[in-house]
Amino acid sequence: MVVIPGYQLIEVIHEGVSTIIYRGTRLLDQKPVVIKIPTTDIPTLAEISYIKHEYLIPENLEIEGIVKPLSLETYQNGLALVLEDFGGISLKKLLEKESLDLTSFLNYAIQLTEALGHLHTHHIIHKDIKPKNIIVNHEVGIVKITDFGIATQLSRETQQISNPELLEGTLAYMSPEQTGRMNRAIDYRTDFYSLGVTFYEMLTHTLPFNSNDPLEMVYCHIAQSPVPPHQINREIPPVLSSIVMKLMAKNAEDRYQSAAGLKADLEICLSQLQTTGEIANFVPGQLDKSGQLSIPQKLYGREREVETLLAAFERVSGKKQQTTNN
């Protein structure tokens, strides 16, 4: 029986490997809350630090598009994180139940882009944007970003090469540079790639890359091009498909450089849809410009060397797959 003084727990809304999330009420003022606690009675130091970090990163941010942390409470040998409850469910659960029409998609996409832009203004990189970490109240049309457990408050950080199964983040949504195999630092644009994968899933109900082999998934993010969304779902306007593909560009320099530029394109799409009932083609990114100084890390004049490295990587991946099958 879980008991946290000052709170009444009503129901379990998610149970993961390391945490359980409850919907409940704060007894002091009957405020609806969401409470996250460790699954184990004696959590590790890393698990305690994760919950504490998830509270501290967004603690003082006044951003409408994030789920606000309310307090940290002592729970057994660890901590309980208390968050606002605005009556939402994860975007992942919503997508499992229904498809989004274009108007709903664009409204949510604009809100998410605006929230991400505010985070980047505060030099916060989320590093784990995905439908499970997005909460949506579909009845009122509000969407918010949550789970800052691996977020960083740096403008740039270096991702070390490691076992793909041990990487921070979620491999299916991870940018090429976040895999640690691109020899380049991570900056705010890694979130745009993950947002692109999220948009892709919202529009097509499938991921751009599917594999149970972590090494193969890393290779896909680095070297493979996904099928454009409009080729999977013919109802998706080609320009919207192009916006998603731009977000998922392999090199950060080829993605959107600002949330403002992305938001402008999404607002053009929404305005056209509401005015004419369709979305006409235009060139994405025309209003985009970086709000941060970023020294390009893209290799120029080394196409042959890059192709050689990718071919070697593909051979190694193939041998690993053959060994696994045998």
Say if 322 falls within a structural domain: no
CA distance 137 to 248: 26
Residues in Cβ contact with 242 at an 8 Å cutoff, skipping those fewer than 6 apart: 228, 284
Digit-coded pLDDT (tens) for 59-108: 999 999 999 999 999 998 899 999 999 999 999 999 999 999 999 999 99
- Domain final residue, candidates 84, 99, 133: 84
**pTM of the predicted model as reported, rounded to 2 decimal places:** 0.86
Give the count of domains, the chain: 2
Per the structure, the complete domain to which residue 28 belongs is given by: 7-84
Note the pLDDT of residue 224: 95
Q: Which residues of the chain have pLDDT under 50?
A: 161, 163, 323-324
Interior CA angle at 289 toward 284 and 290, to 5°?
Answer: 130
Note the pLDDT of residue 58: 96
Whether 70 and 172 map to the same domain: the answer is no
Structural element, H or E, at residue 203: helix 189-204
Active site residues: 128
- 159 contacts 141 by C-beta, under 8 angstroms: no
Residues in Cβ contact with 221 at an 8 Å cutoff, skipping those fewer than 6 apart: 174, 175, 176, 179, 209, 250
Note the pLDDT of residue 316: 66
What CATH number does residue 263 fall under? 1.10.510.10
Say if 2 falls within a structural domain: no
